[in-house]
Chains A and B, each alone.
Chain A
């Protein structure tokens, strides 16, 4: 069949999808009025806008809650660890953090990809942690979460303690979309294997406790999130794809991907215009230090015995380290 005839045939088939008379849309005038209502109803109130401006202007780059961890895991991490064939217990638990600097241009590209509705899959929320709630004391927080709680003894008793619940969700990988994301980001889409299509990644986050002191210092404590996913994934290949999406060259990504232990390392993208990062030690434990470029808050992130700690404050990294040493 001639190629043009083939196109014409397909065009005729597709014409079956054209809207019939009864499928005509509402008038553009009515549709625009509805759109205007939506725009008006989604505009934040002046008070909320001001509070958000304050937060933005302080450039608070700290892991402020479970939502961030979950979003990070879902949006950036395709943890490629081989699960036991007969046992789907998640064996990925965060033990180390690895930071990667990401340019504002690359972040803007990723935001545009997300704005265009391209997501790596469908995310289903199974259990919503809900908003955090203030409690009267550390003892009450410990009772509600069932966890042993640590506090920064160097700062004395916290002025506020808040508790967040557990949560869980599932990401069902859409391989076409995931490959489109890679393609749009300039990465070879074929890095992702066919076996990823429909893969189900279950993420569980645990109750968290946030302590706040009068000087603005905060200490967040939660058990390491748990990630369950099917087998048959090459760890370093997925990690390599992820690093390239974040802006690394193919050669750099390959080299780094092969040196990271993807079974226990959570990759944290750090906007290079917002913060610098370094590795420090806290009582012999490796920690990631994030230093705000604009002189705002700094943060320390570390893991100990299956518990993640995030300490944030305006004191600077060295002062925070001293405070972190007193966390017991």
Chain B
């Protein structure tokens, strides 16, 4: 077995034990799960909602759901897969709620930074981010999740587990998702320019 696969197997086994203990009320085990996944869950949510405060709040809700989730005993559970799926859904729900409330002015608000930046460059960057984010939000959640998690550095094997697909099909699904993203992005760009 390759070294990386061994590492993944050990991680899965230890997380399964942590999950089991957390389900039995072991707060240290739940804390360990939290530290294992918090940064990535936050990273995924930030990429979706584009706002630090909102991403932190949503991340709290995701882990609160994990705390209350009653995983069936005796079955294997991939905590990471569960967390990223819940985080993706939470992020998409937040975007759609926000869209319906017509609160889409985030692109025009300057980021408070220590270094002075060229306002035009900042605005251009914000517009790009908004366009990318809106394009992502228009994709089916599974496609958006696949693309974001791959961008965050997850391997095909990890993506297969998280998205609940056969490992051999990740490449094809990724290509299709990328194609959908490109088409939607170009359509959005053409609409803006006309």
Would A38 and B178 count as touching, CB distance under 8 A? no
Say yes or no: is A15 at the interface (Cβ < 8 Å to chain B): yes
A100 in contact (CB, < 8 A)? no
Q: Are A22 and B38 in contact, with the CB atoms below 8 A?
A: no
A168 at the interface (CB under 8 A from B): no
Any B CB within 8 A of the CB of A71 = no
Give Cα distance in the complex from A3 to B174, angstroms.
10
A17–B129 contact, CB under 8 A? yes
Contact A25 B39 (CB under 8 A): yes
Chain B contact residues, CB within 8 Å of chain A: 31, 34-35, 38-39, 42-43, 46-48, 50, 52, 55-56, 59-60, 63-65, 67-69, 85-86, 89-90, 92-93, 96-97, 100, 111-113, 125, 128-129, 132-133, 136, 140-141, 147-148, 150-151, 174-175, 178-179, 181-182, 185
The answer to whether A14 and B151 have CB atoms under 8 Å apart is yes
A18 and B136 CA atoms in complex are apart in Å by 13
Choose from B47, B69, B141 the contact partner of A14 (Cβ within 8 Å): B47
List residues of chain A with CB within 8 A of the CB of B52: 19, 22-23, 25
> How many angstroms from the CA of A180 to the CA of B69 in the assembled complex?
20
Closest A residue to B138 using CB positions: A176
- A203–B59 Cα gap in the complex (Å)? 32
Across the interface, do B112 and A22 meet the contact criterion of CB distance under 8 Å? yes
Q: Assess the A35–B63 pair: CB atoms within 8 A.
A: yes
Asked whether A16 and B89 contact (CB < 8 A) given A3-B175, A25-B55, the answer is no
Are A28 and B175 within 8 A (Cβ)?
no
B34 touches A116 (CB 8 A): no
Q: How far is the CB of A176 from chain B (nearest CB, A)?
A: 6
In this complex, which of A10, A13, A19, A34 has the most chain B Cβ atoms within 10 angstroms of its Cβ? Answer: A10
Chain A residues contacting B111 (CB-CB under 8 Å) are: 20, 22-23
Inside 8 A of A9's CB, which chain B residues have their CB? 178, 182
Give CA–CA (A177, B95) in the complex, Å.
13
B182 near A28: Cβ-Cβ < 8 Å? no
Distance in angstroms between the alpha carbons of A14 and B50 in the assembled complex: 12
Residues of B within 8 A of A177 (CB): 92-93, 96
A47 interface hit (Cβ, 8 Å)? no
Interface residue ranges of A156-201 to B (CB < 8 Å): 172, 174, 176-177, 180
Q: Would you call A32 and B86 a contact (CB within 8 A)?
A: no
Contacts of B112 in A (CB 8 A): 22
Q: Which residues of A from 89 to 125 have beta carbons under 8 Å from B?
A: 115-119, 122
A34 to B93, CA, bound (A): 23
Docked Cα-Cα span, A10 to B97, in Å, equals: 26
B60 adjacent to A31 (CB under 8 Å): yes
Partner of A10, one of B38, B46, B181: B181
Distance between Cα atoms of A180 and B182 in the complex (Å): 23
Least Cβ–Cβ distance between B192 and chain A, in angstroms: 15
Q: Is the CB of B133 within 8 A of A117?
A: no
Beta-carbon nearest neighbor of A118 in chain B: B89
| B141: chain A residues within 8 A (beta carbon) | 176, 180
